[in-house]
Amino acid sequence: MLTQNPHTSGEVGSFYNRHTDVYDQALGGNIHVGYWDDEADDSPMRAATDRLTDLVTERVAPAEGHHLLDVGCGHGSTAMRIVAHHAVRVTGVSVSDYQVKVANDRPQPSGLLGQATFRLADAMELPFPDESFDGAYAIESLMHMKDKMAALGHVARVLRPGGRLVIAEHHLEGELDGPDAARMGDAYAFFKISLTTDRYGELLREAGLKVVDHTDITENVRRSYDSMVDAWREAARRESEGEKAREMERAADLGGWIFGVTPQLRYGLFTAVRP
């Protein structure tokens, strides 16, 4: 599964140049899933997606003066939340020039404890010196990278000893076969992703990092997908242009299936440390 439909970083970047705004609307200003404690938790989307940011941040364990790397930073919402609450610097990289522009254009209010900067760069070839970051996180970005080992190797290289990497990501548990495998191939091609059947433990170890935690939060994030599907259908209705409307319908059909009902699809938080 891992090597099917490899996408270039340029293709991923242009996907996000076109789709960032729909994700933003569906997910309350973030481009990642929300987290709910349980059925009774009625937090709105914004609060739930911020909660995921906070769960990741806690695991990175930032201390005053730290410099963190945001691997696949989206349009900067995650990094901005972190620098609003912690006295740290964050550098974010994305392969979408639209996202980098939106991120760098965000006003950084004077009350922020830290600061965030964003640049167009590929995580599989990180342009930073060895041991230049105190911590790193990758939220829903590795799924887009055709060479996950290259990216993890680079992150391990730029982390200082003792620095942590936290991954929030989808992965598969178990193989799909028959029509499900074919449909997954369609979803990979559409969303420019390839999921690993590894739970990231093996890959992190191979990159020289020590895994200290894996928490499966699939059931806590599941509610996000309905909202995404609704947003895609809504976007399809708004589009006057036939082709764009069909693209949004396809996103809703494939996304509703892969992220909503495929039992093999899991979402995990992985914490590793550079020895």
Grouping H, G, I as helix, E, B as strand and the rest as coil, residue 236 is helix
Judged by CB, which is closer to ligand SAH: 80, or 243?
80
CA distances from 202 to 32, 140, 149 (A): 24, 18, 10
Return the residue matching tokens 């928490």.
Answer: 215
Paired tokens of 4: 């099917």
Cβ at position 119, least distance to ligand SAH in Å: 10
Judged by CB, which is closer to ligand SAH: 147, or 253?
147
Cβ at position 144, least distance to ligand SAH in Å: 4
Sign of CA dihedral 50, 248, 119, 207: positive
Judged by CB, which is closer to ligand SAH: 24, or 180?
24
Judged by CB, which is closer to ligand SAH: 139, or 166?
139
Query: Of the candidates 147, 158, 137, which has an alpha carbon nearest to the alpha carbon of residue 272?
Result: 137
Cβ at position 128, least distance to ligand SAH in Å: 12
Judged by CB, which is closer to ligand SAH: 122, or 247?
122
Cβ at position 74, least distance to ligand SAH in Å: 3
Query: Cβ(196)–Cβ(148) under 8 Å?
Result: yes
Q: Write out the residues near ligand SAH by the rule CB under 6 A.
A: 9, 12-13, 16, 30-32, 72-74, 77-78, 93-96, 99, 122-124, 139-141, 144-145
Cβ at position 93, least distance to ligand SAH in Å: 5
Query: Cβ(271)–Cβ(212) under 8 Å?
Result: yes
Grouping H, G, I as helix, E, B as strand and the rest as coil, residue 146 is coil
